[in-house]
Structure 1
């Protein structure tokens, strides 16, 4: 009897818990103050919720309205977690966040408490089923909603799109693309990581994140987006904030890194609207971003997600269309003169825009491939990534890149290496660290078909059967072959970076096809070149010997990487360089074998510049006798001169001088300073 009574009590408690509890005084007689606070919070949340839903209907950016509504709703949820309508609204807020997976339990709870709590519940039941990959179930919910929804507005276009997505998703998941899609843990946090943009060789990445920073969070506890960088060694390094005044106190969203890595497009708030800016890399610092032409960054619309085209004459970007209620649309603007940066009136790109939000976009350096994210077209749900190809000067209708690149969640942004083997996207799919995470896409390439082999066992050939190798006729794939040409310009002796001007010439035509300056802090450069040509490279830097060479990229070569270290010879009179890689035995003037590489570079310089005259000087710290130090430094300088003489350098071009401890370059009060003072130097005395 006692056991039966216990079961009855448990049953009653369970039924009570599953019942919808309205925010009425009759249900909370003992806590009227709590009820008042909860209903006040709901009223405040409803104000933000209404504005957010209006933006959704108009395919416009809803900003922080759903986040603001959620903050208020959660106050009421703590007071009463068993209200169907409140659970539904919380679910909708999560559905319109960067973490839509959180919407699933709230929408399902709302259904259990009261399946008629809101006319849109069936739509969001379809949405959450779609997120879970239950496409048939989602389609049923969408159909029920479609049958019962009688309002004469434009919301049905969302329903129709969702139903199509369910069909598309099943088709794509049944035939997945040959690739891996992996979360990159070192890049991601529980916050949002978006907008990956990589150098053409795939070794450097720019991204944006609203992870905690030195600024104050807003009223919702959210930090502003800042722009970070990461380098690929064995793995991607932990992102660090970019140096220089590129980041502001508002959201700064990286859009596109130029193919040579020297410029960047970004968007940020500018007087209450979003505009596109450009920053340039000088040394290690990114410049204060400058707003782009009025034809791109208008004073009436929001513009974002810009990218360069392959030759630098155009900029593609996205602009909100608040007239047609189709969300953001892809536009482009071209220049008449690169030096003047005189952009023309922007034009909408025909053939790639849908009836929903389109963008971000990325144009591959081949100039023939545009990757575009869109909520429209033939998608799987949320934003999907599509590919459009340039055919006879026109961009084709975007084609979905398929599963697992795309999912029922938001999958957008796309940054590819020059060879197309790897790409990076941003997605809020389930299983990440939280919010939007950055994922690496590794393409496997076309499937290799096995050779079909048959054996004809004729009587005359039993011992040695005749084998028939049937191989399908190969299909020629026309692909633009590109080679990444990267490297550094350094001083041949000091090995320090040198800022230099480089000209790349097509030797067949004699035409200079590219002129650029290497980075002043690192000496780095990176460009891409077409196959099937012989190229000349000319390198100039003030005070350095002119450097030139040529190299071939054979026809049909693809996925090549030319990585050069260009050593420049310093010929400026008065130039003085410490030879840090020349080593002697302790308290002796005997050169050690580890010195040979440094000495051979000096030999080569003297041979390359026959008129060069130098002084080799030896220096010590102040430990011990000044006389002995001077003698030792003289002997060591003479040892270097002797080595050069043995290698064919005329003794008349060299002098040896020992200065002992008389010319320190650092303090002798600590071991680090003494180490710096113990050195061998050469100084150019004539040329």
Structure 2
């Protein structure tokens, strides 16, 4: 009898231990699943996309922006096109910034035709699927999400802009080996549609240090050197970087004492024309006076201000306006 009682006690102990082990294992599994779920939620809230999960497209996509609008639909206005900018796309409903070559447009029906939301969306969806694009989101943007990100978007309110509260957006990704990642989103209502295309790319740095040798070379070969000298905003006061550029101009002029230079200031077309002309002259004088203070003979220098009268390029974008805000050193015979 005592042996039977002892065996039963031992059995109960093993049963209890086995039950606890299973409970611990279940708890670990539950904790693991909970951690995984939390991680998924964190990834979603952070607006992450696992590009490795998207298969490569082998289709011949052509050149940017890669496809036309459906027949019978046209751009309402001139599309917004930039060689490098940022665009926000709804990754898991989180408007997430991607950088690269950008195309954004509003889409309407051609004259005397009624816009069809279904025609616009189905045409795009069928075509994108045929070239290997993968839909990664189809849903609305919440009001709280719009309020969170909208001030970060430099193109908010411009042509083809989307991502507004309660706006239904379809978001596709094309992954390629030769053209990189391509992001496409579109939305529509009963009257018109919107389309955004971005070819993801890193910024190619084009800023180079201005050197005296380059200035001398430009003056010798081209008769002028175009410089982007930093001044205080809306002032003629040189910044620290601007002063460094002045020193390179000084060294260039010292290399060839026979040079006579016209220092010519230019602005973009933003603001009052007369004020721009005065500002451009004041900046040219600042450059001249800085060079004289370093020992350059003032008789070899003249200062002129042209305002926005002689743009290098059309003032139709911020990028082009920046090109027009310049100082030119022109060789005087």
Same fold (TM over 0.5): no
Task: Report which of the two has the higher share of strand.
Answer: 1
User: Which protein has the bigger helix share?
Assistant: 2
